[in-house]
Structure 1
Amino acid sequence: MVHGYERAYRMAGHGPALLFLHGIGDDSSTWLDLLTSLADDFTVIAPDLLGHGFSAKPRADYSVAAYACGMRDLLTTLDIDRVTVVGHSLGGGVAMQFAYQFPERCERLVLVGSGGVGASVHPLLRLAAAPGAGLLLPLLGTPPALPVLRKLAETLRISDDLDYVVARYLRLVEPDTRSAFLRTLRSVVDWRGQVVNMLDRCYLTQGIPTLLVWGTEDRVVPSGHALRAHRAMPGSRLVLFEGAGHFPHRSAPKEFLEILREFLAETPPAAYDRARWGELLRAGGPEEPVPAESPDVPAVSSGT
């Protein structure tokens, strides 16, 4: 219980702490294979964000800032001080917000098909955020809607995770789940695209080891966002999964695990320096302008 609301989470293992944050409409089960593989060497924590999975779904604040505060409070109740944060999609936006609000608690950032680094997003998400969309979402649970959902998954280039995605859309027939989904979506997306943009604060990741992982065929959050974020985050690493869509950690779990382990082994945890943080804020941006050209980026075959 945190602030009177039930918070579901998965936790296992021992060693340095890794916090895994899922995307909108998803839950902690998206990380299960990774959690199992990493638990021998790390303490792994994967919550169901408020309004998702088995966590409570109240009428509440579903902004990325509120989610970041919720993660701080959950970690405090678990007596965990510092973590490497791995975030997918919406969870990536929450991870960045967590690092921005609580830099002293963030050791590393791993952003997977992350929101919050550009305006563009799939038109269907913009449509879902529009007024009146909530009246149509209950129809997703009817038999005629299933072929439409499958076509939607193909359009989003997530056919490899088709059954997984369809099962999550079907949850929207539940009133509380649907309400939480809409509140969350509308806090970050409107009819013009993503509302929350962290690019103006990405320079603050200096000193925080950051890994960006994207699928080249991501149609939910296009891979162009990855290049933009890579240029805006000093010292960040970017790996593109060739042929993968919005779920590279699911479509190529072995390759993703290998890259994640390598990143964790090769980068020391960030050491928060309040004086340096103040210098960065007073400077108001990076010392050097962000280059316009795209850097060389390693590509990984996803097997998709």
Structure 2
Amino acid sequence: MHPFKLSKCFSFTASRDWFYKQSFSNAGLRSVATDLGEGTVMHCWVPKIQNTARPNLLLLHGFGANAMWQYGEHLRHFTPRFNVYVPDLVFFGESYTTRTDRSESFQAQCIMKMMEKHGALRMNLVGISYGGFVGYSMAAQFPDRLDKLVLCCTGVCLEEKDLEEGFFHVADLDEAISILLPQSPEKLRELMSFSFVKPQARWVPSYFLTDFIDVMCTDYLEEKKELIQAILKNRKFSNLPKISQRTLIVWGEEDHIFPLELGHRLKRHVGESAELKVIKNAGHALNIEKPKEFIKHLKSFLFDSDSCPPSQSTYSGLLFRYWYEYKASFTKQH
């Protein structure tokens, strides 16, 4: 059978997505959609059984497919030691809102409301790229809720003028959006060339890339464009709030989406509570390109028992959740 005809009746991307769902379930997680009210629903993979003796770990994805694709290969390293939560950010996967707010601050508030609904009041957090923007905002808005923070290739220190001054490898915001939200095989190849030191996309057939785009890159396209625009609009480094949590910054030495200089800026901004680890021969997608080194740094930082207090999703968390549900029910009835 001709490969193009095969792609019409078989989607590798959909099959891979099904495989990740099975692997997440086998890792002890279950898929839950949480209604936060005001037109917002957050989807998250949460523990089937919450172990109150373990700390909580929140894994936030970046732009791309959905949360499963970015953490599927790493999940097994964390589930034996943490209550792991892997949400889809708003307008990714099965999460959405009817509200018009596109800021990372709003995303952070949605994630925290969702975690509260699950009784997880304190957590450690790993954020990749855009997920790190949201994670940083959570650390700034809810300083007492986050114990340790890992930011991977997260350009929170960028400024709007950086794009105008040629700091990035794109001419303007429209070009950046066309690459970050690819709608053709050519643009997906371009994205992979930006994300990897040694991209292999030029050898991948166009029908295969088209299948990936059809399954993963067409939903909420306009809303995702607005998310990217919101990141950059009027952004000034001087307005970035300070955070105090112990922070690990992980960066690919040859990142062409968020250049390494942004990692050094972030280290200087956070100060003594932060450490920067640079992975050689790695680009922006270092979690995929250099998975062993990526996991090594995360384990070394997160598995330090002295700074990983037990989960607070015990009695206090349960009481908070029951009160939250009671209050919502009481409000609805009156």
Q: 1:125 to 1:215 in 2, by over 3 A?
A: farther
Q: Which amino acid aligns with 1:60?
A: T
Structure 2 residue corresponding to 1:243, chosen from 281, 300, 308: 281
Structure 1 residue corresponding to 2:100, chosen from 50, 53, 60: 60
Structure 1 residue corresponding to 2:73, chosen from 9, 28, 33: 33
Question: Equivalent residue for 1:287?
Answer: none
Counting only pairs closer than 5 Å after superposition, residues 96-135 of structure 1 correspond to structure 2 as 96-119=136-159, 120=162, 122-124=168-170, 126-128=172-174
User: Aligned pairs, how many?
Assistant: 256
Q: CA deviation at 1:86?
A: 0.7
Divergent runs of 4+, >3 A: 120-126, 155-174, 196-200
Q: CA deviation at 1:159?
A: 5.0
Q: 1:182 to 1:269 in 2, by over 3 A?
A: same
Worse overlay, 106-115 or 32-41? 32-41
Question: Equivalent residue for 1:146?
Answer: 185
Preserved contact between residue 214 and residue 239 of structure 1 (Cα < 8 Å): yes
Distance in 1 separating the partners of 2:158 and 2:173:
18
Distance in 2 separating the partners of 1:137 and 1:42:
32
- Residues 128-156 of structure 1 show CA distances to partners (whole Å, capped at 9, x for unaligned) of 389xx78x999x54xxx313431342244
Counting only pairs closer than 5 Å after superposition, residues 16-95 of structure 1 correspond to structure 2 as 16-29=55-68, 30-56=70-96, 58=98, 60-95=100-135
Coordinate RMSD, CA, aligned? 3.2
Higher relative CO (CA 8 A, sep ≥ 6), structure 1 or 2? 2
SS of equivalent residue, structure 1 residue 111? strand
Distance in 1 separating the partners of 2:275 and 2:209:
28
Distance in 2 separating the partners of 1:39 and 1:151:
34
Distance in 2 separating the partners of 1:248 and 1:58:
33
Worse overlay, 73-82 or 2-11? 2-11
Q: Which amino acid aligns with 1:177?
A: Y
Normalised to the residue count of structure 1, the TM-score between the two structures is 0.73
Q: Which amino acid aligns with 2:186?
A: P
Distance in 1 separating the partners of 2:171 and 2:117:
34
Question: Equivalent residue for 2:231?
Answer: 188
SS of equivalent residue, structure 1 residue 6? strand
Preserved contact between residue 114 and residue 221 of structure 1 (Cα < 8 Å): yes
Preserved contact between residue 44 and residue 87 of structure 2 (Cα < 8 Å): yes
Preserved contact between residue 65 and residue 216 of structure 2 (Cα < 8 Å): no
Q: CA deviation at 1:182?
A: 1.1
Q: 1:187 to 1:92 in 2, by over 3 A?
A: same
Preserved contact between residue 180 and residue 191 of structure 2 (Cα < 8 Å): no
Q: 1:16 to 1:168 in 2, by over 3 A?
A: farther
Question: Equivalent residue for 2:11?
Answer: none
Q: CA deviation at 1:58?
A: 3.5
SS of equivalent residue, structure 2 residue 249? strand
Question: Equivalent residue for 1:228?
Answer: 265
Preserved contact between residue 188 and residue 196 of structure 1 (Cα < 8 Å): no
Distance in 1 separating the partners of 2:173 and 2:279:
28
Q: CA deviation at 1:20?
A: 0.9
Identical aligned residues as a percent: 25
Q: CA deviation at 1:67?
A: 0.6
| Structure 1: stretches of 5+ with no match in the other structure | 271-304
Q: 1:160 to 1:17 in 2, by over 3 A?
A: farther
Q: CA deviation at 1:173?
A: 6.3
Q: Which amino acid aligns with 1:184?
A: L
- Residues 224-263 of structure 1 show CA distances to partners (whole Å, capped at 9, x for unaligned) of 1111111221221111010111111121222221211111
Worse overlay, 66-75 or 160-169? 160-169
